[in-house]
Chains A and B, each alone.
Chain A
Amino acid sequence: MRAWTRVLVLGVSFCALPVLASAQSLTPLSERVQAALDEMRVGEAVELSEGLGDSALDLSVRSRVHFYQGHYAQAVEAMEASLEAEPEHPRDRRPGELALFRSTLQATANFVHVESEDGRYRISHAPGPDRHLVDYALRVLRQVDQSLTEELGIRLQGPIRLEIVPSADTLAALSTLEVEDVARTGTIALCKWDKLMVTSPRALLRGYPWMDTISHEFVHLVVAHLTHDRTPVWLQEGLAKFLERRWREPRAQLHLTPSSRGILSNALENDSLLAFDRIHPSIALLPSQEQAALAFAQVSTFVARYYEVYGRDTLRAALLEIADGQDAREAMATQAARRFAELESEWRRSLEHTEDAPPLLQRELRRGQASEMEPIPEALSEEARRRVRLGDLLWGRQRHGAAAHQYALALEEAPGDPALASRLARAAVAGDQAQLARDTLIPISERHPDHASTWALLSRAYDLAGDVDDARVAARRALSLNPFDPMPHCVLGNRAEAEQERAEERGRCSELSRR
Chain B
Amino acid sequence: MLVFAFGVAAIVFLAACAQVGSVGSPLASIVTLAFVLVPFILAMHRYRKTRSESEGSRAALLLRPADERLSFSFRSALELADRPSGNPEMRRAHASRVLREMDAAETPPMGRVRKSLLLGGGFLLLVVAGAFFFGETLRGGAYALTHPSARDEGGAHLAAFVTGVEAELIYPAYLQRPSETIAHSEVIEAPRGTRVRWSFSTREPVDALELLFGESPIRLQQDGERYVADFLLREDGVLTLSGKDEEERLVREARRWSFTAFADPAPTVGIAYEGEAIVEAFAQLSFGFSAQDNDAIRSLSLVLTSPEGEVRRPIAPPPVAMVDDSLPWEGAARLELERLSLRPDDEVTVWLEAEDGNDVDGPGIGQSDRITLTIASERTRRAARIAGLAALLDATLDRLADRIELPLPEEDEPAAARHRTLNERERTLLSQIDEVANLEQRRRAILTTLHRELKRAVDRDSAMYPRGENANRARRDEEVREVLERLTIRLDDLLTTSELEDSAAIARELETLRRELVSLLESLASERSDEAEAQLRAAIERTRTRMRQLLERMASMREEHPSEFLNPAQTERAEQSEEALDALSRAMEEGNIEEALRSAHQLGQELDALARSLQSAEQQAQGSRFGPRERAMADAMEVLLALENEQRRLAGRTERVRREAATRALEAVGGAQTMDDGLRSALDAAESALESMDSRSLGPMDREALSSASQRLGDARAALEAGDLGEGRTMLETARGDVEQLARELELSAMMFGGRDGKVRESAEAARRGADQLRGASGRLDRMLPRLADHMQRDARQQLSEDHDRQGEVGDRADGLAEQFEASPDEAPLSPEAAQGVREALAEMRAAESALGEQRAIDAAEAQQRAAERLTELREDLEASQNDSQSGGEGGERGGESQEGDRVTIPANDARDDELRMRLLESMGGRAPAGYEDATRRYFEELLR
Interface residues of A (CB under 8 A from B): 367-369, 371-373, 386, 389-390, 393-394, 397, 399, 401-402, 405-406
Q: Which of B491-512 contact A (CB under 8 A)?
A: 492
Which residues of chain B are near A373, meaning CB under 8 Å?
Answer: 562
Which residues of chain A are near B563, meaning CB under 8 Å?
Answer: 367-369, 371
Which residues of chain B are near A390, meaning CB under 8 Å?
Answer: 400, 485, 488-489
The answer to whether A393 touches B405 (Cβ under 8 A) is: no
Query: Is B398 on the interface with A (CB-CB < 8 A)?
Result: yes
With contacts A369-B558, A393-B397, A397-B398 known, is A402 near B405, CB below 8 A?
A: yes
Which residues of chain A are near B404, meaning CB under 8 Å?
Answer: 399, 401-402, 405-406
Q: Which of B400-432 contact A (CB under 8 A)?
A: 400-401, 404-405
Task: List 10 A–B pairs whose Cβ atoms lie within 8 Å, in order of A's numbering.
Answer: A368-B563, A369-B563, A371-B562, A393-B488, A393-B492, A394-B401, A397-B394, A397-B397, A399-B405, A401-B405
Which residues of chain A are near B485, meaning CB under 8 Å?
Answer: 386, 390
The residue from A367, A389, A399, A401 contacting B492, defined by CB atoms under 8 A apart: A389
Q: How far is the CB of A396 from chain B (nearest CB, A)?
A: 8
The answer to whether B397 touches A389 (Cβ under 8 A) is: no
A-B CB proximity, top 10 nearest:
A399-B401, A402-B401, A402-B404, A401-B405, A371-B562, A368-B568, A405-B404, A397-B397, A402-B405, A394-B401
Please report the C-alpha to C-alpha distance between residue A373 and residue B485 in the assembled complex, in whole angstroms: 21
Please report the C-alpha to C-alpha distance between residue A405 and residue B407 in the assembled complex, in whole angstroms: 12
Query: Is B529 on the interface with A (CB-CB < 8 A)?
Result: no
The answer to whether A369 touches B401 (Cβ under 8 A) is: no
Query: Is B441 on the interface with A (CB-CB < 8 A)?
Result: no
Please report the C-alpha to C-alpha distance between residue A399 and residue B404 in the assembled complex, in whole angstroms: 10
Which residues of chain B are near A369, meaning CB under 8 Å?
Answer: 558, 562-563, 568
Q: Which of B463-495 contact A (CB under 8 A)?
A: 485, 488-489, 492
Q: Which among A369, A372, A399, A402 has the greatest number of chain B C-beta atoms within 10 A?
A: A402
The answer to whether A402 touches B400 (Cβ under 8 A) is: yes
The answer to whether B562 touches A394 (Cβ under 8 A) is: no
Residue of chain A at shortest CB distance from B491: A393
The answer to whether A394 touches B397 (Cβ under 8 A) is: yes
Measured as residues with beta carbon below 8 angstroms from the partner, the interface class of chain B is: 10 to 19
The answer to whether B492 touches A397 (Cβ under 8 A) is: no
Which residues of chain A are near B449, meaning CB under 8 Å?
Answer: none
With contacts A368-B568, A389-B492, A393-B488 known, is A401 near B401, CB below 8 A?
A: yes
Query: Is B793 on the interface with A (CB-CB < 8 A)?
Result: no
Which residues of chain B are near A372, meaning CB under 8 Å?
Answer: 562
Q: How far is the CB of B764 from chain A (nearest CB, A)?
A: 45
Query: Is B567 on the interface with A (CB-CB < 8 A)?
Result: yes
Please report the C-alpha to C-alpha distance between residue A372 and residue B563 in the assembled complex, in whole angstroms: 11
Please report the C-alpha to C-alpha distance between residue A402 and residue B404 in the assembled complex, in whole angstroms: 6
Q: How far is the CB of B393 from chain A (nearest CB, A)?
A: 8
Residue of chain A at shortest CB distance from B403: A402
Please report the C-alpha to C-alpha distance between residue A405 and residue B400 in the assembled complex, in whole angstroms: 11
Which residues of chain A are near B562, meaning CB under 8 Å?
Answer: 369, 371-373
Which residues of chain B are near A367, meaning CB under 8 Å?
Answer: 563, 568
Q: How far is the CB of B482 from chain A (nearest CB, A)?
A: 11
Please report the C-alpha to C-alpha distance between residue A372 and residue B401 in the assembled complex, in whole angstroms: 21
Residue of chain A at shortest CB distance from B562: A371
The answer to whether A389 touches B401 (Cβ under 8 A) is: no
The residue from B401, B489, B567, B568 contacting A397, defined by CB atoms under 8 A apart: B401
Q: Which of B523-563 contact A (CB under 8 A)?
A: 558, 562-563
Please report the C-alpha to C-alpha distance between residue A405 and residue B562 in the assembled complex, in whole angstroms: 23
Please report the C-alpha to C-alpha distance between residue A405 and residue B397 in the assembled complex, in whole angstroms: 13
Q: Which among B404, B485, B492, B563 has the greatest number of chain A C-beta atoms within 10 A?
A: B404
With contacts A368-B568, A371-B562 known, is A394 near B489, CB below 8 A?
A: no
Please report the C-alpha to C-alpha distance between residue A419 and residue B696 in the assembled complex, in whole angstroms: 66
Q: Which of B545-599 contact A (CB under 8 A)?
A: 558, 562-563, 567-568
Q: How far is the CB of B392 from chain A (nearest CB, A)?
A: 13
Please report the C-alpha to C-alpha distance between residue A402 and residue B405 in the assembled complex, in whole angstroms: 6
Given contacts A402-B400, A402-B404, 16 further A-B contacts (CB under 8 A): A367-B563, A367-B568, A368-B568, A369-B568, A371-B562, A372-B562, A373-B562, A386-B485, A393-B393, A393-B397, A393-B488, A397-B397, A397-B398, A399-B401, A399-B404, A401-B404
Please report the C-alpha to C-alpha distance between residue A367 and residue B567 in the assembled complex, in whole angstroms: 9
Please report the C-alpha to C-alpha distance between residue A371 and residue B560 in the assembled complex, in whole angstroms: 11
Which residues of chain A are near B488, meaning CB under 8 Å?
Answer: 390, 393
Which residues of chain B are near A401, meaning CB under 8 Å?
Answer: 401, 404-405
Please report the C-alpha to C-alpha distance between residue A373 and residue B564 in the assembled complex, in whole angstroms: 12
Residue of chain B at shortest CB distance from A373: B562
Q: Which among B393, B397, B558 has the greatest number of chain A C-beta atoms within 10 A?
A: B397
Which residues of chain B are near A389, meaning CB under 8 Å?
Answer: 489, 492
The residue from A371, A399, A406 contacting B398, defined by CB atoms under 8 A apart: A399
Which residues of chain B are near A402, meaning CB under 8 Å?
Answer: 400-401, 404-405
Which residues of chain A are near B405, meaning CB under 8 Å?
Answer: 399, 401-402, 405
Please report the C-alpha to C-alpha distance between residue A37 and residue B599 in the assembled complex, in whole angstroms: 54
Which residues of chain A are near B567, meaning CB under 8 Å?
Answer: 368
The answer to whether A394 touches B400 (Cβ under 8 A) is: yes
Q: How far is the CB of B657 from chain A (nearest CB, A)?
A: 57
Residue of chain A at shortest CB distance from B485: A390
Q: How far is the CB of B748 from chain A (nearest CB, A)?
A: 40
Which residues of chain B are near A371, meaning CB under 8 Å?
Answer: 562-563
Residue of chain B at shortest CB distance from A399: B401
Q: How far is the CB of B401 from chain A (nearest CB, A)?
A: 4
Please report the C-alpha to C-alpha distance between residue A393 and residue B563 in the assembled complex, in whole angstroms: 15
Q: How far is the CB of B103 from chain A (nearest CB, A)?
A: 63
Please report the C-alpha to C-alpha distance between residue A399 and residue B401 in the assembled complex, in whole angstroms: 6
Which residues of chain A are near B489, meaning CB under 8 Å?
Answer: 386, 389-390
Which residues of chain A are near B394, meaning CB under 8 Å?
Answer: 397
Which residues of chain A are near B398, meaning CB under 8 Å?
Answer: 397, 399
Residue of chain B at shortest CB distance from A372: B562
Please report the C-alpha to C-alpha distance between residue A345 and residue B489 in the assembled complex, in whole angstroms: 57
Please report the C-alpha to C-alpha distance between residue A372 and residue B558 in the assembled complex, in whole angstroms: 12
Q: How far is the CB of A241 from chain B (nearest CB, A)?
A: 33
Which residues of chain A are near B401, meaning CB under 8 Å?
Answer: 394, 397, 399, 401-402
Please report the C-alpha to C-alpha distance between residue A356 and residue B328 in the assembled complex, in whole angstroms: 84
Q: How far is the CB of B396 from chain A (nearest CB, A)?
A: 9
Q: How far is the CB of A502 from chain B (nearest CB, A)?
A: 33
Please report the C-alpha to C-alpha distance between residue A352 and residue B59 in the assembled complex, in whole angstroms: 119
Q: How far is the CB of B382 from chain A (nearest CB, A)?
A: 22
Residue of chain B at shortest CB distance from A404: B404
Q: How far is the CB of A364 from chain B (nearest CB, A)?
A: 12
Which residues of chain A are near B393, meaning CB under 8 Å?
Answer: 393
Please report the C-alpha to C-alpha distance between residue A397 and residue B404 in the assembled complex, in whole angstroms: 14
Please report the C-alpha to C-alpha distance between residue A109 and residue B539 in the assembled complex, in whole angstroms: 45
Please report the C-alpha to C-alpha distance between residue A402 and residue B488 in the assembled complex, in whole angstroms: 13
Please report the C-alpha to C-alpha distance between residue A399 and residue B394 in the assembled complex, in whole angstroms: 11
Q: How far is the CB of A381 from chain B (nearest CB, A)?
A: 15
Which residues of chain A are near B558, meaning CB under 8 Å?
Answer: 369
Q: How far is the CB of A282 from chain B (nearest CB, A)?
A: 31
Please report the C-alpha to C-alpha distance between residue A399 and residue B405 in the assembled complex, in whole angstroms: 9
Q: Which of B352-388 contact A (CB under 8 A)?
A: none
Residue of chain A at shortest CB distance from B393: A393
Q: How far is the CB of B421 from chain A (nearest CB, A)?
A: 16
Residue of chain B at shortest CB distance from A368: B568
Please report the C-alpha to C-alpha distance between residue A367 and residue B401 in the assembled complex, in whole angstroms: 33
Please report the C-alpha to C-alpha distance between residue A415 and residue B911 in the assembled complex, in whole angstroms: 48
Q: How far is the CB of B720 from chain A (nearest CB, A)?
A: 71
Which residues of chain A are near B400, meaning CB under 8 Å?
Answer: 390, 394, 402
Residue of chain A at shortest CB distance from B566: A368
Please report the C-alpha to C-alpha distance between residue A372 and residue B567 in the assembled complex, in whole angstroms: 16
Q: How far is the CB of A417 from chain B (nearest CB, A)?
A: 19
Q: How far is the CB of B431 from chain A (nearest CB, A)?
A: 20
Please report the C-alpha to C-alpha distance between residue A394 and residue B489 in the assembled complex, in whole angstroms: 11
Q: How far is the CB of A456 from chain B (nearest CB, A)?
A: 20
Q: How far is the CB of A263 from chain B (nearest CB, A)?
A: 29
Please report the C-alpha to C-alpha distance between residue A371 and residue B558 in the assembled complex, in whole angstroms: 10
Please report the C-alpha to C-alpha distance between residue A88 and residue B455 in the assembled complex, in whole angstroms: 82
Q: How far is the CB of A466 from chain B (nearest CB, A)?
A: 25
Please report the C-alpha to C-alpha distance between residue A386 and residue B400 in the assembled complex, in whole angstroms: 14
